[in-house]
Structure 1
Amino acid sequence: MSSLRYHLGVAHLVIGPLLRHVDGFTATVWVETSASCTVTVVAGEERVSERTFTVHGHHYAVVDVPVREAVPYQVELDGVGVWPEEGMERSVVRPVRRLEKVVFGSCRTSVPHDAAHLVSHGVDTLRAYGHGMTVDDQLPDLLLMLGDQVYADEPSAEMVGYIRERRGNAAPVDEIADFEEYAELYRQAWTDPEIRWVLSTVPTAMIFDDHDLRDDWNTSQPWREQMAKLAWWRRRVVAGLGAYWVYQHLGNLTPAERAVDEVYGKIREAADGAEILDAFAERADADPTTSRWSYARDYGGIRLIMLDTRCARHLVPGERSVLDATEWAWLEQQVAGDYDMLLVGSSVPVLLPAGIHHVEAWNEALADGAWGKRVARWSERVRQAVDLEHWAAFRRSFERLCTLLAGTGKTVLLLSGDVHYSYVAKVKGAPLYQLVCSPIRNPLSRTLRLANIIAQFGVATLVGGLIARTARLPKPPFKWRITNGPWFSNALATLTFPTDGVPEARWYSPTTAADPPELTEISRVPLPGRPA
């Protein structure tokens, strides 16, 4: 949109449109605009308008459009067409009644696509995916973004420049400080043309991980106590959760859920809902039982459960749990429902390489005092230094979750990211699989690649098991092994559930030689039969 229109005060799109929750009847379109205005989405014969709401001086709208068939859609602001932009592939909405194709991944840094960053960060897999896709292809029914959609603690050089121009070297130095900077962080992450088009035409479901706020977020009670001593942390966590609510969480909700959401209702009625949102975010951090970021969706015979494995943690030493009591009760209700196959999105993997699993469980025991207070302090420093914070580092939660999921008698696919490599793991004697795809764009160092490869050999598993027993830890109730991988390249994964044929998972990585970038299949793994 031209700068002339901006200066004339005519609203334009800042971010979006993003196609968010879609079911068999309704599609949700999310936008951020430059000024307060009426947002209209035109899809076929349907024309639906919503007035923007305002938070911290930024303007947003969430528009729910009836959808019966696949049709192109347009976006208007105060009656002026702003989407699709000239020369851009048209965007479509279509009903999603059952899942035939799901794309998932995590950990995407938003850095330029020049030669220097291609060397340091590799090709952006999501951007490559957008280059190769058109609306005439079999579009995915769902894109699952499993954490670290933005890096608040490791911003790009462009973002650092914005921060320094705005507030110099004030703390936190070269990190996100407040809602205004989060808004710019999301703008930089989601406005690359190819990324923007993908997000406009593929339904998305999202959940946060630590870097959406800060590395090691809620890894332990000592970590929270250390962060609380920093003068800038309260503002950061309030801004991070508030921005997540606006940019990610609202679009995860169904129209019915949003209609009864008290925070959303109050913010829509306010001239600027900043105080309302900040109070909600502060309360959500202080007492996770006051809010729920997890959610569940049914698509035919497949149930999707997206778990909050960060904010909902219970961190009292000796009682540590990935999910607090309220969240566990909710999960048990969802697992007990009527479905044929279960997809569980957990930003952090449940089934790690066995050697790493044993070390994380051992570290937790030591940090809880199994070898005394002095070792406990050392173990806590190790936990934070090398990110020992997955389900294995909450041993009782790991056992409880695996027992719960295996007890369903259904095929369960655990979908995760976080670790910056991809692999498949399988539980022995139960249809429980771990599928990991990470990163979209943030490759692991060579040293850590080697460490993770070593952790998968039998000797590492044996040594890890011996170490765990020195803390008198019981053996895990299940055995599992890595059946495919690891793959360390930037990647996206797909799940396909054909009506006839074998379901499968595939991992794709971009080639660096092609311009525009192309995706190459790096692995294909058959899965159990599709649900009825």
Structure 2
Amino acid sequence: MAQLVIGPLLRHVDASTASIWVETSDPCTVTVTAGAEQSTERTFTVHGHHYAIVDVPVSEPVPYQIHLGDEAVWPLETMDPSVIRPVDRLNKVVFGSCRTSVPHDTAHTITHGVDTLFAFGHALTVHDELPDLLIMLGDQVYADEPSKEMLDYIKSRRGDQEPIGEIADFEEYAELYRQAWNDPEIRWLLSTVPTTMIFDDHDLRDDWNTSKDWRAQMARVPWWPRRVVAGLGAYWVYQHLGNLSPAERAADEVYTKLRAGEGDGAAVLDAFAQQADADPSTSRWSYARDFGDTRLIMLDSRCARHLEPRERSMLDATEWAWLEEVLADPPARVLVGSSVPILLPAGIHYIEAWNEALADGAWGKTVARWMEKARQAVDLEHWAAFRRSFDRLLKMLAASGTTVMLLSGDVHYSYVARVKGLPIYQLVCSPIRNPLSRTLRLANVIAQFGVATLLGGLIARTAKLPKPPVRWRITDGPWFPNALATLTQEDGTHVVRWETPTVLDDPPKLKEVARVELTPIR
């Protein structure tokens, strides 16, 4: 008898259709019943694991049930019913990034803090004003920093075979996702709040695609080709597939082949993942969706990078062409999701742009080699480190004539940046659960908001860098606690709240870290 292994996850939801994703223990038919509507889908198989994504019509808020074959498996008796609500506008959006999946005991609370996603799921009920969308901005799993439980699983499979202390293949990724998403509170949350996702480096490995040199170094590592194929394949199954609308999924060649196949589709998925890594222009992980007066654009700022020195670009030519298309004739509000921040503290922005110029040979080959080492050592890889891409994107956003909110994570602290004279805002929320140490917090405040602000512009001039196309500054923050951010529209005003879990309460409660109303700087 088939059972649920992971899920259900409520993924793509619009005004008329909801997509529910599951992993099951055995091949089976998956039936979703939502009120008077019922939809059925047969599972497909990859690397011995079985998945389905079921599209069900919705016209009003309604609880739903799931059957595997003839067996009712959801909702569980211990949980509130899961509910689908049609989404035609984004009035309330929750976002964040960087979540390590470790136990919720005292020892791990000391080292990792309280899990904000866990606390949020525990606090939320179907009687609350539920978010219209949960945006997960990268590092949903840490393939290079697994928990002790995950390490025990790895050791039981392959002992001390390389990579030691890291994920090796699809089977281990499947277990990594299971451990990340199967806490009851998180499971209920993901079954009831629509989610959309994009990867960052730790979903594959720290510093993934930092530079051409990084790729060359990793290509010489014997286990890396298997890892990157497994990582991208697992991302496609566990995260990307649910980002797509039913129409986009129906046009997806990989999904079509997997659904039509009789046996295990591992070869199909692995071939796709290998090609996506070797030539990013052959696939697109970025996507866009419209919700009334809002367009959500989720950017792949990892796999789509063009890394040739002196030609570095955050997005390749194919991706830029797609972005220009989706930014044409925008609605009143555009949300741009990028796992790495676009607007950094100004001093750090200049330092990253300066490092790129020197790594490209502005001061000669010897300095270029040292700057490349520094690029990798201290993570100089944000949009500023692809300066031409930063300039191009900001010019496009400034010319769009619409309100733009840039949603990002990655840096393990939260803040607001505002562009002078334009309704463009950078909203950063990180981490969900992976805080910086006190020492690193202090170092970030000093380096990024003190010394670097003074020196950054000066050293940028030594490489003869042009001024950025816009001016901006950090207006609120930084805040360092584990957090989730909520963006709402209140009486025509955009308001962002950051909330963090309390440490002493059991179960944890959420308390407000900051509340910011967004008005452009003149």
The one of 212, 218, 221 equivalent to 1:230 is: 221
One-letter identity of the residue aligned with 1:287: D
Instruction: Deviation per CA, 1:202-244: give whole Å up to 9, x if none.
Output: 0000000000000000000000000000110000000000000
Alignment partner of 1:388 is 2:380: yes
Instruction: Deviation per CA, 1:369-423: give whole Å up to 9, x if none.
Output: 1111111111111111111110010011111111110111111000000000000
Which consecutive aligned stretches of 4+ in structure 1 deviate over 2 angstroms post-superposition?
445-448, 455-460, 500-503
- Distance in 1, matches of 2:511 and 2:386, equals 36
User: RMSD value over aligned CA atoms?
Assistant: 1.0
Report SS of the residue matched to 1:508.
strand
Name the residue aligned to 2:466.
474
- Distance in 1, matches of 2:284 and 2:455, equals 39
Normalised to the residue count of structure 2, the TM-score between the two structures is 0.98
Q: Is the 8 A contact 2:329 2:400 kept in 1?
A: no
One-letter identity of the residue aligned with 2:258: I
One-letter identity of the residue aligned with 1:92: V
- Distance in 1, matches of 2:315 and 2:236, equals 19
One-letter identity of the residue aligned with 2:159: G
- Distance in 2, matches of 1:219 and 1:349, equals 15
Q: How does 1:357-506 map to 2 (within 5 A)?
A: 357-457=349-449, 459-498=451-490, 500-506=491-497
The one of 289, 293, 301 equivalent to 1:297 is: 289
Report SS of the residue matched to 1:226.
helix
Q: Is the 8 A contact 2:301 2:314 kept in 1?
A: yes
One-letter identity of the residue aligned with 1:334: V
Name the residue aligned to 1:3.
none
The one of 317, 324, 346 equivalent to 1:354 is: 346
Q: Is the 8 A contact 1:24 1:95 kept in 2?
A: yes
Deviation at 1:94, TM superposition (A): 1.2
Q: Is the 8 A contact 1:314 1:320 kept in 2?
A: yes
- Distance in 1, matches of 2:14 and 2:438, equals 42
Q: Is the 8 A contact 1:103 1:144 kept in 2?
A: yes
- Distance in 1, matches of 2:473 and 2:421, equals 12
The one of 318, 323, 326 equivalent to 2:315 is: 323
Percent identity, please.
Answer: 75
Instruction: Deviation per CA, 1:424-479: give whole Å up to 9, x if none.
Output: 00011111100000000000122321222123446531211111111221222221
Name the residue aligned to 1:71.
62
Q: Is the 8 A contact 1:108 1:150 kept in 2?
A: yes
Alignment partner of 1:280 is 2:272: yes
Alignment partner of 1:136 is 2:112: no
Q: How does 1:87-102 map to 2 (within 5 A)?
A: 87-102=78-93
Instruction: Deviation per CA, 1:14-50: give whole Å up to 9, x if none.
Output: 0000000000000000000000001000100111111
One-letter identity of the residue aligned with 2:13: V
Q: Is the 8 A contact 1:41 1:75 kept in 2?
A: yes
One-letter identity of the residue aligned with 2:355: N
Instruction: Deviation per CA, 1:171-194: give whole Å up to 9, x if none.
Output: 111100000000000000000110
Name the residue aligned to 1:523.
514
Name the residue aligned to 2:166.
175
Q: Is the 8 A contact 1:24 1:67 kept in 2?
A: yes
Q: Is the 8 A contact 1:506 1:523 kept in 2?
A: yes
Q: How does 1:19-30 map to 2 (within 5 A)?
A: 19-30=10-21
Q: Is the 8 A contact 1:424 1:483 kept in 2?
A: yes
The one of 35, 38, 41 equivalent to 1:44 is: 35
Name the residue aligned to 1:123.
114
Deviation at 1:132, TM superposition (A): 0.7
- Distance in 2, matches of 1:482 and 1:166, equals 47
Q: Is the 8 A contact 1:411 1:528 kept in 2?
A: no
Report SS of the residue matched to 1:376.
helix
The one of 243, 248, 253 equivalent to 1:262 is: 253
Deviation at 1:54, TM superposition (A): 0.2
Can you give the 5+ residue segments of structure 1 that lack an aligned partner in the other structure?
A: 1-9
Q: Is the 8 A contact 1:49 1:63 kept in 2?
A: yes
- Distance in 1, matches of 2:131 and 2:329, equals 25
- Distance in 1, matches of 2:49 and 2:379, equals 35
Q: Is the 8 A contact 1:309 1:346 kept in 2?
A: yes
- Distance in 2, matches of 1:236 and 1:353, equals 34
Q: Is the 8 A contact 2:330 2:402 kept in 1?
A: no
Alignment partner of 1:201 is 2:192: yes
Q: Is the 8 A contact 1:75 1:84 kept in 2?
A: yes
Distance 1:459 1:383, change over 3 A: closer
One-letter identity of the residue aligned with 1:396: R
Report SS of the residue matched to 1:317.
coil
Name the residue aligned to 1:6.
none
Deviation at 1:528, TM superposition (A): 5.0
- Distance in 2, matches of 1:455 and 1:207, equals 29
